[in-house]
Amino acid sequence: MTVELLIILTLVLGLVSYFMGRFNKVYGAVVTIIASMFVFISVGYMANDILDGSTFNYNAVKYLPVFATFTVSYLGIFFAILVTFVFAMVSFFNPFFVEKYKYPAVYNMLYIFSLAGVLGVFFTDNLMVLFFFFEFVVWSGLFIIPLGKSKKAAVSYYAFSTAGSFALLYAIFIMRDVAGTYNLYAGLASVSGTTQGTYVMILLSISAFSKLGAFPLHTWLPAAHGNAPHPFSPVLSGALVKLGAFVAILALVKLAPVGDLQSVFGSYTDATFLYASQYAVAILGAMTIVFGTLMAIRQDDAKKLLAYSSVSNGGYILVALSIGGSVGLAGGLYHIIAHALASAAAFLAIGAVSRVTGTSKMSELGGMIHKMPITYMVYLIAIISMAGIPPMGGFISKWLIFQAVIDNGLILIAVAVFFGSIGSFLYVFRPLAALFLGQELPQHKDKAKIPPFFMLLPMIILSLLIVYTGVFPNYILGFINDVMAELGVDALVIGKYTIQGPNGVLHPTLVASVFGVGVLIAFIIFIVLKKSRKVGLMDTYTAGNFIYTEELMHYSLDFYAPIERLYEKYINITEDFYKKLENKVVDFGRMVKYFFFTNKPEVTVFWIVVIIGFLLWGDL
Amino acid sequence: MLQYAAIAMLMLGLYGLLTQRNVIKIIVSLNIFEIGLNLFIISVGYVDDGIAPILTSNFNNNGLIFVDPLPSALVLTAIVIGVGTTALALALANNIYQKYGTFEIDEMGEE
Amino acid sequence: MLVNILEIVVSVLMLVLAFFAINSKSLIKSVMFLSSLSMLAVVGFVLMKAPDVAVTEAVIGSGLVTTLFVFTLLSARKVGN
Amino acid sequence: MSAILLIAVPLLTAFVSILFKKYSHYMLIAVSFLSVFALGYMDLETITIGGFDAPFGIVLILDNYSLIGLYLVNILFFIVAVLNCKEYKKLSSILLVSLAGLNGLLLTGDLFNLFVFLEVAGIAAYLITTTNKKPLATFNYLVQGTLGSSLYLLGLILLYAMFGTLNMSDMAREIGTSGYGAGVTALPFLLMFIGFGVEAKLLPFNSWAKGILASSNSLSGPMIASVYAAAISLVFGRLLTNVFVIEGTLLTIVMGILVFSLVAGEAMAFSSKKVKEILLYSSVSQAALVVLVFMTGFAGWAVYLIIGNATAKLVLFLVTNIAAKQLGDDEVDTFKGLFTNNKVVGLAFTAVTLSVVGLPFFFGFVTKMNILENMFLSGAYVWPALILITSFIEGIYFIRLLLNLWHTDGDSPEVKFDFVLKYVVVVIAVLTMIFGVYTKPVQDSADDLVVYSITEGGNF
Amino acid sequence: MKNFLAFVAVLVLGFLIITSLNNNEAFPNYGEADISERVSQAYIDRSATENPGDITFGETTDLESGPANIVTAIVADYRSFDTLGEVTVLFISSLGVALLLGGVNRKRIDLDFHPNFMLRVGSRALFGIILMTGVYVAIHGHLTPGGGFPGGAMIASSMLLLYLADDEFRVKIKGFKMLESVAGSLYVLIGLTGLLLISGGFFLENFLDNGVIGNLFSAGIVPIVYVLIGLKVGSEISGIIDNFLTEEAV
């Protein structure tokens, strides 16, 4: 199975799912499961073969146009296997949600198409093909998002993604101009270290930022993730956003940096070893972390909250990649995995809740743990990983990133990184408390029940993997070392069970077992000690008053109001900026319309006179 | 001289189109523009001491200086085309008058 | 010489008539000015040795177009009443 | 078969048709169909009229370039005619003349003859727009159109006074060999450029466009925005590549006009809330893009751009006008959810819109990408950036429009599209997709077209 | 104020154009045009396809183009295709006027002017004379100034006279339509004859004998074409006049 064949087959499966979907909505959705599992397994085989040093030629191209070429690189495999896995897991949700869409068959088809697009992006070594598939993913997503709640979200998704694609395209043209070929590696190599390299780097960064939802190109992401159909949010956050990380690696790692930082800032900087471009990206990444965290704290909609957490995690990835070095890069790559798994699991959990309740707003939910305990566990594990608490995968990656930041003495960035980490404690536990704990709401009491097995299955698998990445990271880190070797970066020093950072050694397994013991003890205490008594919603009183109505007494609503008040004036700066930009364009358009389009011929005559006069005036 | 007058008439036509907001006046201006244009075209073909480009009795074309006949031919076409457009414009003016009851564009209101 | 003077007179008259035709307050006067302008243009064509054009302009430009203008104004006046 | 028949037969039929009013629309259909059909039997040649070779007589040039243009214009004309012949029977004779005029425009190799056909086609266009029942807008169009073609004639006469010929290729050769600088031709070329700019809707000269297209109907909308726009752009392109020499101040002015048209067109479409206005301002911008591509010397791709735009605008204006007629107005809000009940038409509409925006797998993507690539390779770095920025804006408002047309919170409006229309739009949509995927013939022939139209198109 | 500014603007523009043309080395000064550099020289010498040498009025035969009036030679022979287009313009604008002003039941506009008996009879007589003049001008188009267009316009103005002299008068539209259609069709058909019936022929080729230059019966198809143009123009303009002079019956 060559890459080309895989992509073509995926596209065909997409069409099959469309026609199946026309015939029966659910069958069509089942096809998406089959297709994405098929793709995942194929990529898995491919990865296995490549790791074993197989000689099978995956890159052969037979059917596609001549210029389409593919190269199975470690980097591509790394991303592909992660993303196809997320796709495969999420696809199990499709049959349960497909009923609600306006155009279900279209949803199924586009779901598979975006998968095909992702494969193309990761495996091609031709810049035009890269752009082609990049756009393909954008467009597939574009038509899925409005099937959810909001049309506006789709428009802003399109706007930012296209800005990114066009930046990429322009960068491609520059590389093509210098290298004389559309080959990805030749192109990147040819501009490395030159002036054009700077432009390419900036353009690729714009592309990466827009895709990754990093500050200041992040405004689309919460809207799109928050409003997309429930099964598509995890795909967006866990898989498609990672395209940005892929481009970021091209821009930050594969491209030799330009511009010594010291020549730009003189001796005022704390990062003498970094280049200006990398430092700028790192600073923006740090701002992204802070911004995402602050915004996530304020959200009421759990999906939006997770979306902002995705923004913030994108910031971590950018920081890690721009610092580079073996620790930084390894941290970045590991964080990509950790966040993909965690956010997919978290979004799936919330999707499962929303499926039965019809809302994902924290103020309208509560006490779901009673009916959906497994979903609760999944969500718990996911957010622990997101907050970077051992023994989950998020801890390992954050540890590596911290190591890299501290080791390089980047104080400003370190502050942001730590702030983000603490901030994530603040926000990830709010949905936990609001959605799952607390009082069970009467309006959802009857509807809530344990999700069907096929919805639980992917959630459980994801949770197990999150734990696995936290406890035994070394196998994956070994693979990451291969990737880094291909990228020309020194390998991270890892033992059988240890990770060697610059400031010390981490024993993930040991940490995990300590935590495990702690949890075990806590569980035993929980079992042994006297159980708390369950009371009904009415069977309680507050501040000396009896409660007479079954209304929600929510302690997680406006929980951080004091903190929010500190910055609520500034939250809309970027949105306002884009809004203003849009208004400027609209005003300009209106103005031109007003001045040029009347029902009198004099306007045309006037301009004719002016223009002829202008020409002849020049002659005088 | 007539050439300058022709250019000046072109400009007056433009001036009319630029300032007039009466349908009839606009058509008049357009006509002035076209007359200016026709004069200009003919002036381009004029030769001092040339004779009209018609062979008449007792003449041999050898040694005679004719004015350029091609501009005349072009102007013939241009005049007729001009009449066609003017007729159409006037018919439209008639329609406009029937619809709005006025020839003044400013009194018709924005559509 | 005579021709030159004639040219200048015709040119100046034409320009004056054109100006009046554009700026005249009354539409019918405007049309009449246009018609006389057209007649002068005929003289111009003759001066430039283009008899074919002169004949055509005299019949079509000056006669016919004026008639159409007048008819339009007449019918408009009817509607106006 | 001589290409002169493409002009003579419609004219003859038009003259005859006024005697048989009842059958005139059958004549229209028959003749426009035969024109398309007959194109297959035309040989590429230079046709002399009246037995006098160029530059003394008038010649028609049938080369690859005009053949493609003829195919495009005749097919689109046929489609529009078939869809409207019942409703606008009265206009059949006029449409026949307009067909002759358009064919003449595309074929002629003589600059003055071009003016004549410009007027023939132009007057036909004014009459077609009278069906909008907006006499003032039509009057405005007429005045500007006449002024534009008069300016073209003025420029032409200046050229004639300098170089003494009216034939295109002869003129180009005279200019090339005369040894005068570009300064002497700047004024005539500017005048001619403005003349065509008025017809081609370039921005400072197009105040007629809104009045005409914003209140267009299913005949005038597609006719003006698609058929006429295609023909005018193609002729403009021939002049730009073969005759005009644009340098120095003139180049600055022309580029200024084009950039302004491109950007302002998109901005205006972006700020519009009516479907027809969006389409019309977008076509202003597209027209400027076409001229820009011709100016930068990629005639072949400009032709494909024209083809893409013309077919797309045909579908868009047809669907919009039919829907607007049944719904009463063309506000986006009224149109919300239009396609939930008309999925077939909706899909076709979406496909062509996406092609205009430049989605991969569609024809528009292929042309746009190649234009950008070629521009970039020729060392022009600014134009691709500009085109990308405008496409970005274009994408946003088209996507916004599409989403509105597919999704609604309330009830979807009921609109009936007849079978022929459905068939036509689906075929066009499918073709856009086929040539978006199977790009080889397009890629190959584009280069031929460029070579041909520059070296031989003017019968050098 | 606005008008004044506009006036100044066009004045400046006119000045600029005149200066630019004066400075233009390629543009000939007024009266100094060099015809021999232009294609027109070939029209004067009739040497577009052959070299006939000197041409003498009334003697030289079988030139490539026969009319003694060089302008007519261009309009109706060398560049006859333009003329076809021009006729079409008039045709379509008469159609357009009919479309815009026409209706099913139309009656004359009341002109507030009722001609007396003398005027009516007198104008009938004058009508004939003008009509004859028009036809004459059209037929002699290849010899003298004038030709189809002024001739046609004269025919139309004779109709106009009838309209003005009789407030009940209306042209038989149907008849004019017929004339217009037949004349136009014949023009195209003559063109097509050149193309189709003569082997190796061209559209609008002058396939008849050119005869002696200066004779009434000379110049091949030119007089025929010019008469057809005259008839067509006459009927079209009469149609236009009729449409302008009538209104929808209420």
Interval E189-203 mean pLDDT: 77
In sequence order, which ranges of E102-172 are alpha helices (DSSP H)?
117-139, 148-165
Q: Tell whether E206 lies on the interface with D, counting CB pairs under 8 A.
A: yes
Q: Do chains C and A touch (3 or more CB pairs under 8 A)?
A: no
Pair E17, E141 in one domain? no
DSSP B17-36: HHH--BHHHHHHHHHHHHHH
List CB contacts (< 8 A) between D264 and chain A. 588-589, 592, 596
Q: DSSP secondary structure string, D136-155?
A: HHHHHHHHHHHHHHHHHHHH
Q: What is the mean pLDDT of the segment spanning A439-456?
A: 72
Structural domain span for residue B70: 2-34+64-106
- Percent of chain D scoring above 70 in pLDDT: 97
User: Rounded to a whole number, what is the distance in Å from the CA of D15 to chain B's nearest CA?
Assistant: 17
The pLDDT tens digits of the residues spanning B2-56 come to 888 889 998 999 898 888 888 888 999 999 999 999 999 988 888 887 777 777 7
Q: Report residue C46 as tokens.
A: 């003759």
Structure confidence at residue E162 as a pLDDT band (50, 70, 90): confident
How close does chain A come to B47, measured CA to CA in Å? 27
Listed in sequence order, the residues at least 6 apart from E199 whose beta carbon sits closer than 8 Å to its beta carbon are: none
Tell me the DSSP string of D57-70. Answer: S-EEEE-HHHHHHH
Partner-chain residue, chosen from E146, E149, E247, that has the shortest CB–CB distance to C75: E247
Q: What is the mean pLDDT of residues A592-607?
A: 83
* B90 with C68: Cβ contact below 8 A: yes
Domains: count for chain E: 2
Which of C36-40, E37-41, E108-112 has the least mean pLDDT? E108-112
pLDDT in tens, D7-41: 888 888 888 888 888 888 888 888 888 888 888 88
Chain C CB contacts of E146 below 8 Å: 52, 55-56
Distances (CA, A) of C30 to A19, C21, C36, D344: 72, 4, 10, 57
- What was the pLDDT predicted at A62? 67
DSSP 8-state class, residue E29:
P
**Which segment, A119-133, A328-342, B23-37, E145-159, is predicted with the most confidence on average?**
B23-37
Which has more confidence, E104 or A400? A400
Q: Are residues E9 and E114 in the same domain?
A: no
The rounded distance, in Å, linking the Cα atoms of A193 and B74 is: 64
| pLDDT (0 to 100) of residue C24 | 86
CA distances from A479 to A283, A434, A436, D203, E91 (A): 29, 39, 37, 58, 82
Query: Does residue E76 contact residue E142 with C-beta atoms inside 8 Å?
Result: yes
B73 to chain E, any CB pair closer than 8 A? The answer is yes
Triad D52, D57, D61: Cα angle to 5°:
100
Across chain D, mean pLDDT equals 84
Dump pLDDT digits (tens) for E57-106.
Answer: 777 777 777 777 888 888 888 888 888 888 888 888 888 888 888 766 66
Residue A296 CA to residue A91 CA, distance in Å, equals 27
Q: Does residue D459 have a pLDDT over 50?
A: no
pLDDT tens-digit readout, C46-63: 888 888 888 888 888 788
More confident residue, B109 or D329: D329
What are the beta bridge partners of residue D110? D167
- Could E184 and D90 be called an inter-chain contact, meaning their C-beta atoms sit closer than 8 Å? no
Contact D118, D100 (CB under 8 A): no
Q: First-to-last CA distance in chain D?
A: 23
Q: Residue A264 above 60 pLDDT?
A: no
Q: Please say if the pLDDT value at position A305 is more than 50.
A: yes
Q: Judge whether B99 is closer than 8 Å to chain D, CB to CB.
A: yes
- The residue among E169, E135, E136 whose CA lies nearest residue E241 is E169
Q: What are the pLDDT digits (tens) for A370-380? A: 777 788 888 88
Q: What band does A557 get if pLDDT is binned at 50, 70 and 90?
A: low
Residue D141: closest C-alpha in chain B? B89
Helix axes E80-101, D92-107, angle to 10 degrees: 150
List Cα–Cα distances, D222 to A401, C69, D283, D395, in angstroms. Answer: 60, 33, 12, 22
Q: Are E176 and E239 in contact (CB under 8 A)?
A: yes
**Model confidence at A262: pLDDT above 70:** no
pLDDT at D219: 87
Q: Tell me the average pLDDT across A188-199.
A: 78
Task: Using the predicted structure, report yes or no on whether residue D182 has a pLDDT greater than 70.
Answer: yes
Query: Quick one: closest CA in E to A602, which residue?
Result: E6
Statement: residue D458 has pLDDT above 50: no
**pLDDT above 80 (res B85):** yes
User: What is the rounded average pLDDT of the residues A10-27?
Assistant: 82
Tally of domains within chain B: 1
Per-residue pLDDT at D434: 84
Please state, in angstroms and rounded to a whole number, the distance separating the CA atoms of residues D303 and D454. 13
Average of pLDDT values for A229-257? 81
Query: Residue D234: pLDDT above 70?
Result: yes
Decide if pLDDT at C81 tops 70. no
Assess whether chains D and C touch, using the rule of 3 or more C-beta pairs within 8 angstroms. no
pLDDT at A475 over 60: yes
Return the pLDDT at D152. 92
Single out the residue of D338, D255, D355, D327 nearest to residue D296, CA to CA.
Answer: D255
Estimate the share of chain E in helix, then strand, then coil, as percent rounded to the nearest 5.
60, 5, 35
More confident position, A274 or C54: C54
D262 is in which domain, residue-wise? 5-455
**Residue D460 within a domain:** no
Minimal-distance CA residue of chain A relative to D354: A139
D positions 38-97 inside 8 Å of E (CB) = 47-53, 55-58, 90-91, 93-94, 97
Quick check: is B47 in a domain?
no
Q: Say if residue D2's pLDDT is above 80.
A: no
Q: Please give the C-alpha separations between residue D75 and each of D70, D71, D78, D209, D305, in angstroms, as whole numbers.
A: 8, 6, 5, 24, 17
- A69-122 pLDDT tens trace: 777 788 888 888 888 888 888 888 887 877 777 777 888 888 888 888 888 888
pLDDT, tens digit, 9 for 90 and up, residues D190-220: 899 998 888 888 888 888 888 888 888 888 8
Shortest distance between the Cα of B72 and any Cα of chain C, in A, equals: 6
Q: Could you give the 3-state DSSP secondary structure of residue D367? A: helix
User: A529: buried, middle or exposed (CB in 10 Å: 19+, 13-18, 0-12)?
Assistant: exposed
Highest mean pLDDT among A274-278, C72-76, D194-198: D194-198
Mean pLDDT of D408-422: 79
Residue D20 covered by a domain: yes
Dihedral angle of Cα D318, D322, D328, D333, to the nearest 10 degrees: -60
User: Average pLDDT of chain E?
Assistant: 80
Q: Tally the domains of chain C.
A: 1
Domain that holds residue E125: 45-248
Mark whether E49 and E8 lie in a shared domain: no
Listed ranges A196-205, A502-511, E4-13; the one with the highest mean pLDDT: E4-13
What's the confidence (pLDDT) of residue B37? 92
Query: What is the C-alpha to C-alpha distance for residues A480 and A485, in angstroms, rounded to an integer?
Result: 8
Label residues A181-209 b or e (16+ Cβ within 10 Å = b). ebbbebbbbbbbeeebbbbbbbbbbbbbb
Mean pLDDT, rounded, for A481-500: 77
The whole-number pLDDT of residue B110 equals: 56
| A608/chain B closest Cα distance in angstroms | 9
Q: How many domains does chain D have?
A: 1
Judge: A154–D376 Cβ closer than 8 Å, yes or no: no
Domain membership flag for residue E39: no
pLDDT of residue D451: 46
What whole-number distance in Å separates Cα of residue C71 and Cα of residue E109?
Answer: 9
DSSP label of E76: I
The minimal CB distance from A605 to the residues B14, B105, B110 is found for B14
Task: Please indicate whether, in this complex, the C-beta atoms of E188 and D163 are within 8 angstroms of each other.
Answer: no
Chain D, nearest residue to E189 by Cα: D12
E63: left (phi over 0), alpha (psi -120 to 50) or beta: beta
Least CB–CB distance from B105: residue in A600, A605, A608: A600
Domain that holds residue C60: 2-80
Evaluate whether A237 touches A225 at the Cβ level (below 8 Å): yes
φ, ψ for residue E152, nearest 5 deg: -60, -40
Burial class (CB in 10 A: 0-12, 13-18, 19+), C78: middle
Percent of chain C with pLDDT over 90: 0
Q: Is the pLDDT of residue B111 over 60?
A: no
Question: pLDDT tens, D293-310?
Answer: 888 878 888 888 888 889
Please indicate whether, in this complex, the C-beta atoms of D127 and B17 are within 8 angstroms of each other.
Answer: no
